[in-house]
């Protein structure tokens, strides 16, 4: 059940469903005020008691002689700086007279079933109008002639509210939009912990927690993409909240470019959350008649802990953000040749790896970097998306057919947004890269960024990619992006539009994705940006899975995948078994642990299987068979975090089927112990009245009811807890087990 109620008499809006209420009102000066966001409260006629206006010393007031209405002390719906509100604003518009003052006053509104699309941008969607309802508030700044539409979509179930803003220049001035946030939310207190997910290449999305204090805490990116360093997702939680109880608010931006997520606490303990395109280097020229649409931000509220918030995001992003043929399908088990060969491959070597993979039951062979142009190292060839027939004599068509003849599908790597200077494309079009005249051309990985703000460049790349995909049996595309943007300047835009390049670039990326996924709807696209540098909701709209990190070490992946799971579903996480010692951290880990981590993801292998021993190949065959049997549960089941790698030596998580008749529990120990305590793990999400058979390593360890497993716990003690008994498997560093529950 959901509803959007408008009280005409007091100009108050109440959006609610079975979980949440969101209440706002028109303030005395015509702007919008925020009254409440949280657990559902019963609808009533008015909420005037939530509007508090009291004269304060040193206060600034909207109306001459009236010492009550000060926006500094109000909870505003879409804050504007300079007219008594001194907090960071949601919007800033430079007008022809040099003023940046705005006052957006309520004009009208519409309430419509379903959810409208956002032009040129990814967003959540509905398949039936009964799934959601959308409020569009129309506000107008009479001086500048800007019309602001604030869009709010409340879904029928769950604590979800999707928000965005649309600016239209209906006046006669030429304006510059300098700040246009997707979300502004003022909360009445500051008793929250601020959680964000930060790191760097190969250690993405590590969990960071700090308590809110007066001042500003923020994360963001000005790298041209959402970045390894920070993710466009933050959490506010009450200090007493944990995974399974307490108030939690999640904020996620469906965008892949520069972003800002900020919490500002004023000295009266009001908290303002802002989320949207980063205002640094953003300047959008808005001429009369033009419109600018912000990306969508999604807010989730729960009073049942962080895990419930995560499950809400998982379900929404898995089924109403991801789209297309592969949205609901278990993902194929793949092998990628990159860490097996890097650039040093021949067709014969590739086919040898593929044949061994087929014998192990693997379903998809992916040819990574190095198949095109003069690409024999990372200094040449990017941009020339034509097969190198010296390497592949029969072209992509030929090797794809040979892989298909083995009984496998074929996948291919691209990095369409980049170019090497040593390439035919650059030699023909040196002005196609983002670069500033007379300035140095910085490089990353010896490559430069194509100016995807220009349609002719996107068209050229599309034509080359479509030619390959349209003539060969390609079932999967890995779309990589291996550097951040520098010298962000377009040779095709006027000086007063250079502030648009970062955003226009991302719109160009989205346009290329949209065209390719529409032309080749059954190809599985996996996004990648040196691993996790663009693991964000924006790309899930086009590619239902993303390469989670270039770090394939199982122990490092525990933290990376655990942190990623706070917002993103398991079905979105590319996770592979790689060689040991690992190529990133040179750690030696057991083969079973590498697989036990990777199976909580889309699953595949990134090594040369032909170099494994017979015993190791036997293990791989069992791993593949296990994944085929349980991948639907692992990728689409309800996911629970049980023990955090950020808090100790043990990591644990589990996936439970929709009717709770099956579950897979992953248990991981980083370092072995001696004479260790006995240990139990309390499970979640089971049917308390169901009797479960519990297996580990194909061995039945007992039958237990769901209530016992959840409240008394699953015994996880092993040979480290005392002397090893006859027939008992010794424990080791980097050990792991999968517990299979069936009832």
Average pLDDT over residues 145-162: 97
Of the listed ranges 71-80, 416-425, 561-570, the least confidently predicted one is: 71-80
| Whole-number pLDDT of residue 59 | 83
- pLDDT one-digit tens code per residue, 156-190: 999 999 999 999 999 999 999 999 999 999 999 99
CA distances from 273 to 192, 194, 253, 623, 718 (A): 12, 11, 12, 45, 47
- pLDDT one-digit tens code per residue, 388-403: 999 999 999 999 999 9
| Whole-number pLDDT of residue 56 | 85
Three-state helix/strand/coil letters over 421-480: CECHHHHHCHHHECCCCCCCCCCECCEEEECCCCHHHHHHHHHHHHHHHHHCCCCEEEEC
- pLDDT one-digit tens code per residue, 626-680: 999 999 999 999 999 999 999 999 999 999 999 999 999 999 999 999 999 999 9
Please confirm, yes or no, whether 726 is among the known catalytic residues: no
| Whole-number pLDDT of residue 534 | 98
Determine what percent of the chain is predicted with pLDDT higher than 70. 100
Q: Is the pLDDT score of 553 beyond 80?
A: yes
Catalytic residue among 550, 551, 553, 608: 550
Task: Render the burial of 60-98: b for 16+ CB within 10 Å, e for the rest.
Answer: ebbeeeeeebbbbbbbbbbbbbebbbebbbbbbbbbeee
Q: Is the pLDDT score of 726 beyond 80?
A: no
Kindly report whether the global pTM for this prediction surpasses the value 0.75.
yes
Average pLDDT over residues 338-353: 96
Could you tell me the pLDDT band of residue 61, with boundaries at 50, 70 and 90?
Answer: confident
- pLDDT one-digit tens code per residue, 2-13: 899 999 999 999
- pLDDT one-digit tens code per residue, 495-519: 999 999 999 999 999 999 999 999 9
Average pLDDT over residues 220-225: 98
Catalytic residue among 283, 308, 480, 735: 480
Could you tell me the pLDDT band of residue 1, with boundaries at 50, 70 and 90?
Answer: confident
- From CA 613, how far away is CA 359, in angstroms rounded? 14
| Whole-number pLDDT of residue 48 | 85
| Whole-number pLDDT of residue 118 | 97
Of the listed ranges 58-62, 72-76, 124-128, 231-235, the least confidently predicted one is: 58-62
User: Does the domain formed by 650-742 have CATH 3.10.180.10?
Assistant: no
Q: Could you please report the per-residue DSSP string of 36-53?
A: EEEE-----S--GGG---
Please confirm, yes or no, whether 550 is among the known catalytic residues: yes
- Where in the chain are the domains? 2-320, 334-420+472-482+521-632, 650-742
Q: Please give the DSSP secondary-structure letter assigned to residue 188.
A: S
- From CA 527, how far away is CA 532, in angstroms rounded? 9
Could you tell me the pLDDT band of residue 45, with boundaries at 50, 70 and 90?
Answer: confident
User: Does the domain formed by 2-320 have CATH 2.40.37.10?
Assistant: no
Q: What is the mean pLDDT of the chain?
A: 96
Average pLDDT over residues 485-503: 98
- From CA 628, how far away is CA 333, in angstroms rounded? 8
Higher pLDDT, residue 224 or 722? 224
Average pLDDT over residues 196-204: 97
| Whole-number pLDDT of residue 502 | 98
For 334-420+472-482+521-632, CATH gives 3.20.20.70
């Amino acid at each position: 059940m959901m509803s959007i109620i408008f009280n005409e008499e007091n100009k108050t809006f109440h959006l609610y469903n079975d979980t949440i209420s969101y209440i706002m009102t028109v303030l005395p000066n015509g702007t919008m005020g925020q009254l409440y966001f949280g657990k559902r409260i019963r609808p009533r006629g008015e909420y005037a008691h939530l509007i508090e206006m009291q004269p304060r010393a040193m206060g600034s007031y909207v109306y001459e002689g009236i010492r009550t209405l000060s926006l500094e002390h109000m909870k505003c719906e879409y804050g504007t700086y300079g007219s008594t509100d001194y907090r960071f604003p949601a919007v800033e518009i430079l007008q022809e007279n040099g003023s940046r003052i705005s006052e957006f006053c309520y004009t009208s509104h519409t309430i419509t079933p379903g959810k409208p699309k956002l032009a040129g941008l990814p967003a959540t969607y509905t398949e039936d109008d009964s799934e959601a309802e959308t409020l569009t508030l129309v506000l107008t700044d009479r001086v500048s002639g800007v019309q602001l539409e604030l869009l709010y979509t409340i879904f029928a179930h769950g604590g979800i509210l999707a928000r965005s803003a649309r600016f239209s220049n209906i006046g006669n001035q030429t304006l510059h939009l300098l700040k246009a946030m997707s979300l502004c939310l003022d909360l009445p207190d500051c008793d929250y912990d601020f959680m964000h997910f930060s790191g760097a290449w190969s250690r993405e999305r590590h969990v960071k927690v700090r308590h809110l204090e007066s001042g500003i805490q923020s994360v963001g990116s000005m790298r041209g993409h959402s970045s390894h360093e920070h993710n466009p997702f933050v959490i506010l939680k009450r200090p007493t909240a944990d995974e399974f109880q307490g108030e939690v608010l999640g904020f996620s931006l469906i965008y892949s470019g520069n972003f800002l997520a900020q919490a500002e606490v004023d000295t009266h303990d009001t908290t303002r959350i802002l989320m949207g395109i980063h205002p640094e280097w953003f300047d959008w020229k808005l001429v009369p008649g033009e419109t600018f649409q912000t990306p969508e931000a999604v807010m989730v509220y729960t009073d049942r802990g962080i895990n419930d918030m995560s499950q809400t995001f998982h379900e929404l992003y898995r089924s109403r953000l991801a789209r297309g043929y592969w949205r609901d399908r278990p993902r194929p088990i793949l092998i990628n040749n990159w860490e097996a060969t890097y650039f040093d491959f021949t067709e014969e070597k590739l086919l040898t790896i593929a044949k061994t993979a087929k014998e192990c039951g693997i379903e998809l062979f992916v040819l990574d970097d190095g198949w095109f142009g003069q690409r024999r190292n990372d200094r040449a060839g990017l941009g020339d998306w034509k097969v190198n027939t010296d390497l592949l004599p029969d072209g992509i068509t030929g090797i794809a057919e040979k892989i298909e003849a083995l009984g496998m599908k074929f996948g291919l790597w691209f990095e369409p947004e980049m170019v090497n200077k040593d390439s035919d494309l650059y030699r023909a079009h040196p002005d196609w890269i983002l670069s500033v005249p007379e300035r140095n051309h910085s490089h990353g990985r010896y490559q430069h960024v194509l100016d995807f703000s220009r349609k002719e460049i996107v068209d050229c790349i599309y034509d080359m990619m479509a030619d390959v995909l349209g003539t060969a049996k390609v079932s999967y595309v890995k779309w990589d992006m291996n550097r951040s943007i520098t010298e962000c300047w377009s040779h095709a835009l006027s000086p007063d539009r250079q502030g648009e390049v970062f955003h226009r670039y991302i719109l160009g990326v989205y346009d290329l994705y949209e065209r390719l996924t529409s032309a080749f709807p059954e190809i599985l696209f996996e996004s990648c940006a040196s691993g996790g540098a663009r693991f964000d909701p924006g790309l899930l709209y086009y590619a239902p899975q993303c390469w989670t990190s270039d770090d394939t070490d199982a122990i490092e992946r525990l933290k990376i995948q655990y942190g990623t799971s706070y917002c993103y579903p398991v079905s979105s996480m590319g996770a592979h078994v790689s060689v040991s010692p690992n190529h990133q951290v040179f750690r030696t880990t057991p083969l079973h642990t590498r697989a036990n981590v990777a199976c909580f993801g889309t699953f595949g292998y990134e090594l040369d299987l032909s170099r494994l021993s017979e015993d190791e190949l036997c293990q791989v065959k069992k791993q593949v068979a296990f994944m085929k049997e349980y991948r639907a549960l692992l990728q689409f089941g309800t996911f629970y975090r049980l023990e955090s790698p950020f808090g100790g030596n043990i990591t644990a998580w589990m996936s439970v089927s929709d009717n709770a008749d099956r579950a897979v529990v992953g248990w991981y120990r980083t370092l072995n112990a001696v004479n260790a305590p006995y240990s139990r793990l309390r499970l979640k999400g089971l049917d308390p009245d169901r009797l479960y058979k519990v297996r580990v390593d194909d061995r039945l360890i007992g039958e237990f009811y769901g209530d016992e497993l959840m409240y008394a716990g699953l015994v996880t003690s092993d040979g480290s807890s005392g002397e090893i008994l006859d027939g008992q498997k010794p424990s080791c560093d980097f050990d792991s087990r999968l517990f299979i529950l069936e009832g």
